[in-house]
Amino acid sequence: NTQDELKKEAAKVAADKVQAGSVLGVGTGSTVKFFIDWLGERKEKEGLTLKHIVTTSSRSKKQLESYGFKVDELADVDEVDLTVDGADRVDSQLNGIKGGGAALTLEKNVAVNSKKNIWIVDESKVVDHLSGFKLPVEVLPVSCMQVKKRLEKEGLNPEFRMNGNQKLTTHYGNYILDLDVSPIPVPAGLADYLDHTVGVVEHGLFLNICDEVIVAKSNGTIQEIKR
Ligand code: DER
């Protein structure tokens, strides 16, 4: 099984869990892309309709609209029933690192306002302790150099994410600092520190947010891990 085939399988299991008439959150990334394809297929085959769909990136929005789904803003809905998203790493406690796609701020805002969060991943993302992926931190441009220095002093090895020779800008016009800490010794401690650092808009530590992970394994089986 190639990695894409695994992503596709995990995405299918999640798409089958989506209930007609519900409020659905749709994340971002290459695994979610398959999830949207499966939703499109359910729409075509069984006329799946949803009360609302909100999404975490313009890429996912475009793809959903290409299947004829209407996409609403999070501000226009009360609460999301289920959000399906990918993740960059997920540990044995179902805590994760997200933000590889630079959409972490909207992803976290949708996730914490969802009654249930399911992540779809291939086996390569599953780790015992959060490691092997740089932690994305979204920072305001105004104080980005000072924040970078502060994080350097903490030994967190921040580097700006680049887009060619320019700093990459997020949907909200901010920058991303990727922190090279692997493994992350105390995720809750680091999350707390970042939550209290002025200039940090959001970070990619998603702790106690995910309820269920659907893992596609290279031996062809699917593992569903629930909190
Ligand atoms: O959190 C993120 O931004 C990640 O990119 C995540 O959604 C996984 O993306 P992937 O399915 O392309 O690996």
The residues that are catalytic are: 107
Question: Is 66 labelled a binding residue?
Answer: no
Can you tell me which atom of ligand 1 is nearest the CA of 98? 1
Q: Note whether 193 and 212 are same-domain residues.
A: no
Whether 114 maps to a domain, the answer reads yes
156 and 93 together in one domain: no
The Cα 173–Cα 215 span in angstroms is: 33
**Do 28 and 68 fall into the same domain?**
yes
Taking the C-alpha atoms of residue 66 and residue 215, their distance in angstroms, rounded to an integer, is 27
Residues 6+ apart with CB under 8 A from 178: 134, 135, 136, 137, 158, 159, 160, 161
Q: Is residue 129 part of a domain?
A: no
Q: Same domain for 112 and 143?
A: no
Global pTM reads: 0.96
User: Would you give per-residue pLDDT tens digits along the chain (227 residues)?
Assistant: 688 999 999 999 999 999 999 999 999 999 999 999 999 999 999 999 999 999 999 999 999 999 999 999 999 999 999 999 999 999 999 999 999 999 999 999 999 999 999 999 999 999 999 999 999 999 999 999 999 999 999 999 999 999 999 999 999 999 999 999 999 999 999 999 999 999 999 999 999 999 999 999 999 899 999 98
186 and 213 fall within a common domain: no
Gyration radius from the chain CA atoms? 17
215: DSSP letter: E
Same domain, 112 and 153: no
Q: Which residues line ligand 1 (CB under 6 A)?
A: 27-31, 85-88, 98-101, 103, 107
Q: Is residue 223 part of a domain?
A: no
Q: Is residue 38 part of a domain?
A: yes
Q: Domain tally for the chain?
A: 2
Domain range holding 60? 3-123+207-217
CATH of the domain at 158: 3.30.70.260
ipTM for the complex shown: 0.95
Report the first-to-last Cα separation within the chain, whole angstroms.
Answer: 27
